[in-house]
Structure 1
Amino acid sequence: MKLNSEYWENRYQNLQTGWDAGQITTPIKAYIDQLEDKNIKILIPGCGNSYEFEYLIQKGFQNTHVLDYAETPLENLKKRIPNYPKDQLILGDFFDHHETYDLIIEQTFFCALDPELRKNYAQKMYSLLKPKGKIAGLLFQFPLTESGPPFGGSKESYIELFSPLFQIRKLETAYNSIKPRQENELFFIFTKK
C-alpha cells in the first residue's frame, strides 16, 4: 500500500477518516491556550481537517500555515474559514516544503507516515524550524506493527529518534487525551538544538 496523495485523497472522499476527532483535541487545545506570542509562525503538517488550525485562528494566531497533500481537507478549511489567506493553506508534500517556522504542531501526521520515513521526518522537522524552534503535539504509544496507519511507537524509540536533533523538553503520557485515545498518547515538546 502506497501512502501517497491519492491514498489520502481517497480516504477523505470516502469519509474513511477515523482519526478525525471532529474538534480540537484537549492536549493540543491546552498547549495552545498557554502560548503567549501571537506573532509566531506556526505550521501544522499533514493537517487534515485541522480543528487545531481553526482554533489558532480564533485565538489570534494569524501567521499559521497548514500543509497537506490531499486537496479535500484544504477545501474543507477554505469553506470553514473563507476569509483566511489562501497562500497559508498549502497543497504539497511535507518533504518538499522549505519554509521555516517557530512552532510546528504534530497531530496525527507522524503516525500516518510509513515508519521507514521516521528518520527523514525528524530531519525535515529540524530543517523547517528556526533556531530554538519547537515541535509540540502528540505521538501514539502502542506497539509498532506493520498494519497501519496509524503506526505506533514507544517513548524509548522516540527519544532515540529525536534526541540527536532536539532537546526533549517534555515526553509523557497525556493526562487529558480524548476518551478513545486515553493512555495511548504521549504529549511532547521538542526544541531544536
Structure 2
Amino acid sequence: MAHETNFTDFWQQHYRNDRTPWDLGYPTPVFARLAASGDYPPGQMIVLGAGRGHDARLFARHGFDVLAVDFASEAVATMHLLNDAAHPVQVLQADIFELPMGMNGRFDYILEYTCFCAIDPARRGEYAALAARLLKPGGLYIGLAFPIGRRSGGPPFVVQPDAMIELLSEHGFSIQQREFPHDSVPSRQNIEELIILKR
C-alpha cells in the first residue's frame, strides 16, 4: 500500500484512542439476517479487516469455521479477549495483501465490511485479485459496500458499487445479489449496499 506505514499508524491510533465510528459495537444487522437465513451453509470463511470481530463471532456462532484478519494490534487484542471458547474464531494479525499463498482456494466465503473503503484505492485491483485467489471455485464474496458516494479524500475512501462489481468481475466473479438493505443501521441507510458475488 502506498504510505502503508502511515495507514497502519492511522488505524492503530484510532483503535488506541477508541475513535472507531465504523465499529457498531455489535454484529452488523444485515449479516445477522444472512447468517440466520439458512441460505448459506456453514463453511470456511475469512473476514478481511475484521476489526474487533463482531461479525466474525456472529458467523462462528452459526457454525462457520472463521478466520478473522486485521493488521491493527489493538483490534486483534480485542478479538482474542472476546473470543468464545464454545464458538472460537481463528485470529490472525496480518496485512491482507501479505496473506500466504497456502491460503489460496481455501475459503467458501469472504466477508467484508469497512475494509475495502480503508485501503488505498490504487490497490483495489490487488484486492480483487486477492479475493479471487482466496476463494474456492463457487465460493461467495459477501460484501457490504460502505460508504457509497463520490467525495474525494480518505480514508475511509468512498465506494462506488458498480465499479466494485466491475472490478471483481474482471477477476472471475459474477453478481448473485445486490440490495440496499432494509436493516442497515439508521445512520447508514442508502449509503451502503449488500453485494454478493460468486467466484
Task: Report the TM-score when normalising by structure 2.
Answer: 0.87
| Cα offset, 1:86, TM superposition | 8.5
* Alignment partner, residue 190 of structure 2: 183
* Matched position secondary structure for 1:44: strand
Note closer, same or farther for the CA distance 1:82–1:26 as it changes in structure 2 (3 Å cut): closer
8 Å Cα contact 1:134-1:191 kept in structure 2: yes
Q: Which segment drifts farther, 120-129 or 171-180?
A: 171-180
Q: Which segment drifts farther, 164-173 or 120-129?
A: 164-173
1:37 aligns with 2:41: yes
Deviations 1:69-94 (A, max 9, x none): 11111111111126379892101110
1:142 aligns with 2:153: no
The number of residues matched between the two structures is 190
In structure 2, distance between residues paired with 1:174 and 1:184: 10
Deviations 1:164-187 (A, max 9, x none): 220011122222211110000110
2:50 maps to which of 31, 47, 68: 47
| Cα offset, 1:151, TM superposition | 1.5
* Alignment partner, residue 27 of structure 2: 24
Deviations 1:118-174 (A, max 9, x none): 111111100111111111020025323332222112232123212222001112222
RMSD over aligned Cα atoms: 2.1
* Alignment partner, residue 83 of structure 1: 85
8 Å Cα contact 2:56-2:66 kept in structure 1: yes
In structure 2, distance between residues paired with 1:87 and 1:181: 27
8 Å Cα contact 1:74-1:89 kept in structure 2: yes
* Alignment partner, residue 157 of structure 1: 163
Q: Which amino acid aligns with 2:60?
A: I
In structure 2, distance between residues paired with 1:125 and 1:112: 16
* Alignment partner, residue 94 of structure 1: 96
Deviations 1:36-74 (A, max 9, x none): 533x1100011001211121222232x111001111111
Note closer, same or farther for the CA distance 1:86–1:6 as it changes in structure 2 (3 Å cut): farther
Note closer, same or farther for the CA distance 1:172–1:85 as it changes in structure 2 (3 Å cut): closer
Structure 1 residue ranges without an equivalent (≥5): none
In structure 1, distance between residues paired with 2:76 and 2:60: 15
In structure 2, distance between residues paired with 1:103 and 1:161: 18
In structure 2, distance between residues paired with 1:85 and 1:6: 31
* Matched position secondary structure for 2:158: coil
1:126 aligns with 2:129: no
In structure 2, distance between residues paired with 1:127 and 1:101: 9
Q: Which segment drifts farther, 94-103 or 137-146?
A: 137-146
Task: Report the TM-score when normalising by structure 1.
Answer: 0.89
| Cα offset, 1:8, TM superposition | 1.7
In structure 1, distance between residues paired with 2:54 and 2:84: 14
Identity %: 28
* Matched position secondary structure for 1:122: helix
In structure 1, distance between residues paired with 2:53 and 2:129: 23
